[in-house]
């Protein structure tokens, strides 16, 4: 996941290359400390400031479900787009001043190598947080006793209505005839 981009940096704006992404990411987060295989494709395009890297990779992650808190394994697809800037002039070897807010993992160093690993690790961390559902219909935990509802129902009373919403519950108890009669009257007047 390290690409020598010296030749691409010598070419004009818009020059491009495509490479396979094969390798592994390690130390993604506490649940994914060991190496996780990554595979996909990266498209590199020369820009005025450096190189734009876009692509898609597949990665298996160990995640904790955000509803039931159980651990599970999932295959995720990461789409990424990052612009890497050169920190060294290709011809002279002199340092190129970078903007203050330039992230160091997005700098192409003096060896003219573009390293995708840290950027992909950050995308993987975001995916592990946002896509963390063991199943789309996971019922989660009981808000009263904390039982995992995937393992079965608990004995908690779930019919209790929040007193602040009691007025709305009273509207449900009204007879439906009264509301339908109002509609008939409105229809007759039109």
Domain chopping of the chain, boundaries:
2-130
Query: Residue 91 CA to chain centroid, in angstroms?
Result: 38
Whether residue 78 contacts residue 59, with contact meaning beta carbons closer than 8 Å, is answered with: yes
Q: Which residues fall within 8 angstroms of residue 132, CB to CB, at 6 or more apart?
A: 63, 64, 65, 66
C-alpha span between 36 and 25 (Å, rounded) = 5
C-alpha span between 63 and 84 (Å, rounded) = 29
Angle at 77 between CA 17 and CA 13, to 5 degrees: 20
C-alpha span between 164 and 153 (Å, rounded) = 26
Query: What is the model's pTM?
Result: 0.73
In three state form, how does the secondary structure of 136-153 look?
CCCCCECCCCCCECCCCC
Q: Could you list the pLDDT tens digit for every one of the 190 residues in the chain?
A: 999 999 999 999 999 999 999 999 988 988 888 999 999 999 999 999 899 999 999 999 999 999 999 999 999 999 999 999 988 887 777 888 888 888 888 999 889 999 999 999 999 999 888 878 999 999 999 988 899 999 998 888 767 777 787 777 777 766 665 555 555 555 555 4
């Amino acid at each position: 996941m390290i690409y020598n981009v010296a030749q691409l940096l010598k070419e004009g704006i818009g020059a491009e290359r495509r490479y396979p992404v094969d390798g592994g990411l390690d130390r993604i987060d506490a649940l994914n400390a060991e190496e996780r295989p990554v595979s996909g494709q990266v498209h590199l395009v020369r820009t005025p400031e450096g190189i734009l890297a876009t692509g898609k990779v597949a990665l298996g992650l160990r995640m904790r479900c955000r509803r039931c808190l159980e651990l599970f394994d999932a295959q995720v697809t990461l789409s990424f787009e990052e612009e890497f800037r050169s920190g060294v002039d290709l011809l002279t070897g002199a340092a190129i001043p970078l903007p203050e807010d330039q992230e160091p993992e997005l700098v192409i160093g003096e060896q003219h190598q573009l390293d995708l690993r840290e950027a992909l690790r950050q995308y993987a961390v975001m995916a592990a947080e946002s896509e963390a559902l063991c199943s789309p219909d996971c019922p989660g935990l009981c808000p009263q006793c904390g039982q995992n509802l995937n393992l079965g129902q608990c004995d908690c009373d779930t019919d209790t209505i929040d007193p602040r919403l009691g007025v709305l519950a009273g509207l449900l108890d009204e007879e439906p005839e009264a509301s339908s009669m109002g509609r008939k009257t409105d229809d007759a007047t039109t």
